[in-house]
Structure 1
Amino acid sequence: MKSAKRILIVDDEDANREILSSFLGNQGYQLELAGDGFEALAKLKLGIDLIYLDLMMPGMDGFEVARRVREDPDSCDIPIIMVTSMASKENRLRSVEAGVNDFISKPIDMIELQVRTKSLLKMKEAQDALKKHKSELEEQVQERTSALRQSLEAMASAQRKTQSAYLDTIRRLALAAEFKDEDTSSHIQRISGYCVLLAETLHLPPGEVETLRHASPMHDVGKIGIPDRILLKPDKLTAPEWEIMMQHAAIGARILGGSSSELLRTGEIIALSHHEKWDGSGYPKGLKREEIPLEGRICAVADVFDALTSRRPYKEAFSNEEALEILKEGSGRHFESRLVDLFVKNFDEVLAIQKKYREG
């Protein structure tokens, strides 16, 4: 059972405190009373959910109390309702600048008091839940990023021994993310193959093609930082869940960022940009056209085609023909038209790659 919300009433007039406390107490709220600003600030440590604050008080007025509440990291999110009989435009403006959320004029309308109290307490509850979730997510990402960075340091040591051991470690890094959402090694091999095909048809230098071959499988490495309850959810994600899911692009870039390796730098670029769209409607930065790195544009075509033609817990696979039509429909909006044209023109080679790395 949830504990009652705690409201702090700050007013230098005993009668005013009594009116508010009598009404709010009957509503089931826990109440703390303060006769001046100094006493009010001292009571913030009690875990206050909402403050009713009188404007005109001796010693420290409501403006100053509000400013001090907002300056304290431990209390800055507490909603404040200013209670005053002097609700002039100037006072309202100064109150907003001090961090006040709402106003109630004296004499107090109890129905208005009840509505505003419930509204701001719901806002505070939502803020607290979001803050808790953000903290948990950051802690989870920090733990997993720390573990992954240790793995990358070990990989750098292996690189000094043999190039093949280095590339094998890169492949396993990509698999660590793919295994989380039930993808397989076949998926990242197909992505790599499609990217190489597009890079070669663009006549990129051989060194860049090889870098793309080994960097493209790391496009979704940021999924390591996404909670399993979202990543493995068999149903459509809610809007808040989708906001969290979209963070995998930035998380992947953070994981791969800061390396002196050209391969990992390219992986960082792909991780951050492969969900951008040609028309600027993608994420995380809303880049458009040539603002999107070429590596990300190439991987976007490869990743979407493979996702469409792969079965998932929440959908059946599209046929190759259906997936190709979807790519064509997205040409010039989701994808660069030049890349879609090359993908269509070389579709027989696409199918050969798909067959070579078929699931199972």
Structure 2
Amino acid sequence: MLVIDDDPASLHLTSRALNAPAFDPPTLVQDARRLREVLAADAFDLVILDMVMPHLDGWAVLEQLHEVCGDHVPPVLVVTGDTRRSLQVRALRAGACDYLAKPFDPGELVARAHRHVSIHRSRSALRRQKALLESLVQQRTVQLRRSQLDIAQLLGRAAEYRDNETGAHILRMSHASTLLARRLGWSDADCEQLLSASPLHDIGKIAIPDRILLKPGPLDADEWSLMKTHTTTGAAILSVADNETLRLAATIALNHHEKWDGSGYPNGRAGREIPPAARIVAVADVFDALRSARPYKPAWPTQRAVEQIRAQAGRHFDPEVVAVFLETVDELEAIGSRFADPALPRP
């Protein structure tokens, strides 16, 4: 407890009254100008405060307590010789929790002090418990999000492996998509959701026969029609779950082959009819595909792939996404290096 009173006799009397087994010896302050120094050195369960003091009166002390302690101001018991009702009301409005007139009964002071200390300690314990629980919930939320991302990446990689991919493509594409989204002004939460959802963009390929999916040459018209169904199949697979991230994944799966000019598939959507996440993933996906070796083509050099993306702005791709893409090529290359395909063994 902290006792602030300019009268040495009052300090002594208060100290004697509080010399009880339930309390630690109080800190006694005769000059209220030392308040900030005292508060910096220790925390208190109760402040017993005289209002009429030189240099710094009780009103100024109450203001400083709120400045220094913020939301964790200890209870303040005003003990003063001024018994005016208006003063009591003013003190309570200024933040005091109780009022005791001098001369006071020591037993009453102890009883009131005990009650306020007990309440303060209980509230402090509840705050600590609340902070602990919030920390545990936050840790668990991070773990769940990590698990959700791991599952999405594993499922996405499973689909990629059927397409003779190493699985690194979905890591590069999803991180590239997240980078573009962030530069477009998306919130951290939305970017995190995109990172989890975008790896599932080609999940529908699990329903495409190997003779089409792995065909080294061009597809005929019937084969191409069947290949295009991976968008609707992926959306159907992902739409059955009542989960915000999977709903976004379904939207991306359905729309990531739509084109800005309306010439894409499966629904021929154009411009801003195409959901923003799908517009972003389209750029990231094609850029990585161009820079990756496929059964039907070698990997393109970065500059050639960049020029292709630039040339398709307003046709295949959202011009705004392309503009951000062109500003982040170096960072996208760093993502490519971070998640590079494993080196093939020498024959």
* TM-score class, shorter: 0.5 to 0.7
In structure 2, the residue matched to 1:290 is 272
In structure 2, the residue matched to 1:228 is 210
In structure 2, the residue matched to 1:197 is 179
Q: Percent identity?
A: 47
Give the secondary-structure state (helix, strand or coil) at the position aligned to 1:343. helix
> What's the C-alpha RMSD, in Å, of the aligned pairs?
1.8
Q: Deviations over 1:221-251 (max 9, x none)?
A: 0000100000000111111100000000000
Among 308, 313, 316, the alignment partner of 1:334 is 316
Matching of residue 351 in structure 1 with residue 316 in structure 2: no
Question: Within 5 Å, which residues of 2 pair with 1:265-276?
Answer: 265-276=247-258
Among 211, 234, 246, the alignment partner of 1:264 is 246
Give the secondary-structure state (helix, strand or coil) at the position aligned to 1:203. coil
Contact 2:175–2:195 (Cα < 8 Å) also in 1: yes
Question: Within 5 Å, which residues of 2 pair with 1:138-157?
Answer: none
Contact 2:149–2:195 (Cα < 8 Å) also in 1: no
CA distance in structure 2 between the partners assigned to 1:276 and 1:205 by the alignment: 24
In structure 1, the residue matched to 2:232 is 250
CA distance in structure 2 between the partners assigned to 1:256 and 1:305 by the alignment: 25
Structure 1 unmatched runs, 5+? 1-158
| Bigger Cα Rg | 2
The verdict on how the C-alpha distance between 1:356 and 1:247 changes in structure 2, with shifts beyond 3 A counting, is same
TM-score, normalization: structure 2? 0.57
CA distance in structure 2 between the partners assigned to 1:331 and 1:165 by the alignment: 36
Among 204, 207, 213, the alignment partner of 2:189 is 207
Structure 2 unmatched runs, 5+? 1-140, 343-347
Q: Deviations over 1:264-291 (max 9, x none)?
A: 0010000000000000000000000000
**1:176 CA drift (Å):** 1.3
Give the secondary-structure state (helix, strand or coil) at the position aligned to 1:312. coil
CA distance in structure 2 between the partners assigned to 1:168 and 1:180 by the alignment: 19
CA distance in structure 2 between the partners assigned to 1:216 and 1:233 by the alignment: 25
Among 277, 282, 288, the alignment partner of 1:306 is 288
CA distance in structure 2 between the partners assigned to 1:170 and 1:305 by the alignment: 21
Q: How many residues align?
A: 203
Q: Deviations over 1:52-99 (max 9, x none)?
A: xxxxxxxxxxxxxxxxxxxxxxxxxxxxxxxxxxxxxxxxxxxxxxxx
Among 171, 174, 186, the alignment partner of 2:153 is 171
CA distance in structure 1 between the partners assigned to 2:313 and 2:167 by the alignment: 28
In structure 2, the residue matched to 1:316 is 298
Contact 2:153–2:171 (Cα < 8 Å) also in 1: no
In structure 2, the residue matched to 1:279 is 261
Give the secondary-structure state (helix, strand or coil) at the position aligned to 2:156. helix
